[in-house]
Structure 1
Amino acid sequence: MLPHKPYITAVCQRLNAARMKPAEWWIDDAETRGMYRYLNAVITLDPSGTHDDMPQDIPSGTPWPHGLLLIWEWHTGREEDIERGAAWTFAGLKADGSNEYPTSLSVHGYAAPAAMVEAARKVINHEIKPGHFHNFGAPGWDGGLIGESWERADRLEAACAEWETTRA
């Protein structure tokens, strides 16, 4: 089992309890430029209820018409320009199934599930707006870090470090 599964499961359970049921979610380990392994997870939310609709059936102006991704990654720090540790980003899905460039989410890398609910609400309501490739970060958001770290963050960090020694 990948070390971040219990964490992402806890986040998804909290989203469910807050009536923001993920349309789908998955966890994995992946490669950066074919060289370094890292851990990741993607949670797809459907705040507009139109994720599975055909583009022509979605009313103009519908917010997040194709869905919203919450993306978690843990990196070893060996990659060029990528710091060691965990981080959350978000991105809107496009009609063709691809996604916008991810924007940093103002939460701890091991944010408490309740903090992820609060952050997701702020994104859905456009209090936190998506960035773009040349402006990585959350434009217009000056509300600081949202919420606290997960109470099991130290154990998760240790499990990720252990995974690194055996798999990375």
Structure 2
Amino acid sequence: MSPDTTRVLGQIERGEMWCGPDAARAIAARHEDAYGHAWPRPITDHANPADEAWADALTVLPTRTAPERSAMSPQALPHDPYITAVLGALTAAGLEPSQWWTSDAETNRYTTGPDAGCTTQLDAVLVWEGDHPAVNTEAHEDGITLVWEHPAEQWQWAPRKPHGELKREPEFLDSLPSWVDPAVVVIVARTLLAGGPAPTSVGPLWLEHEQVQAAVDAWAAQE
């Protein structure tokens, strides 16, 4: 297990980082409280099943009351709206991860030169453990992990070992650009969980990606 993984798991155990479905719902509620009930949207193009699946998935994301500020709640991160949309689509498809978290504390492993090791990155980790009903344990006995990182341009994945370590370095997924439509994440996650090969067809981008990309760019400019 890498030092970064050990640190993150320790933060979760100590309650310093909030993860899991309750956190996903709380983040969704927080954004709806700030920006309005933005998730449900009418479908005008029934010829595009990926867009329709995306909208259906977000429509069923439960509406929750925003948590009290005194409750344990992480600071909102610029990529939270996208990861929340992905979690909503996965949950609607019956593929809610066993655990997940978002962070801005990991050392940026893509930075080179004099700043190497001195900046952090945004990331999200989605974990399906071996006892998840969607996991084909003949292919992945201990489950799989999906990873989203900025400034990486694609999602990544890797199978897991018994105690949560990854079996290998995460592999980039050609089919999942960093802002890919959440409906496509569902398709790829279902394939990987079933033990199939990673799809290679590139999926369409999320409809809201430009505004979230702008927020991420603003965050990066302050690093």
TM-score by length of 1: 0.73
Q: In the alignment, what sits opposite 1:70?
A: 146
Quote the offset at 1:86 in angstroms: 3.5
Decide which of 212, 218, 222 is 1:156's aligned counterpart: 212
Structure with the bigger RCO (C-alpha within 8 Å, sep 6+) is 1
* C-alpha separation in 2, matches of 1:95 and 1:47: 8
Decide which of 135, 141, 161 is 1:94's aligned counterpart: 161
Q: In the alignment, what sits opposite 1:79?
A: none
Provide Cα deviations, 1:89-120, integer angstroms capped at 9, x if missing partner: 01111013210221111212101110100111
Quote the offset at 1:87 in angstroms: 2.1
* C-alpha separation in 1, matches of 2:180 and 2:188: 10
Q: How does 1:7-18 map to 2 (within 5 A)?
A: 7-18=82-93
* C-alpha separation in 1, matches of 2:153 and 2:216: 9
Q: How does 1:2-81 map to 2 (within 5 A)?
A: 2-29=77-104, 30-32=106-108, 34-46=117-129, 49=132, 62-75=138-151
Q: Percent identity?
A: 30
Contact 1:22 1:43 survives alignment (8 Å): yes
Decide which of 103, 108, 111 is 2:171's aligned counterpart: 103
Contact 2:98 2:132 survives alignment (8 Å): no
Decide which of 191, 194, 197 is 1:122's aligned counterpart: 191
**SS state of the match for residue 89, structure 1?**
strand
Quote the offset at 1:26 in angstroms: 0.3
Answer with 1 or 2: which has the greater Rg: 2
Quote the offset at 1:65 in angstroms: 2.0
Residue type of the alignment partner of 2:221? T
* C-alpha separation in 2, matches of 1:47 and 1:31: 28
- Across the aligned residues of Structure 1 and Structure 2, the Cα RMSD in angstroms comes to 2.3
| Structure 1: tracts of 5 or more residues without a match | 51-60, 76-84, 130-140
Provide Cα deviations, 1:60-85, integer angstroms capped at 9, x if missing partner: x633221211100012xxxxxxxxx5
* C-alpha separation in 2, matches of 1:86 and 1:24: 23
User: Which structure 1 residue ranges, 4+ long, deviate > 4 Å from structure 2?
Assistant: none
TM-score by length of 2: 0.56
Contact 1:48 1:62 survives alignment (8 Å): no
Higher percent of residues as strand: 1
| Structure 1, 21-30 or 120-129: larger mean CA deviation | 120-129
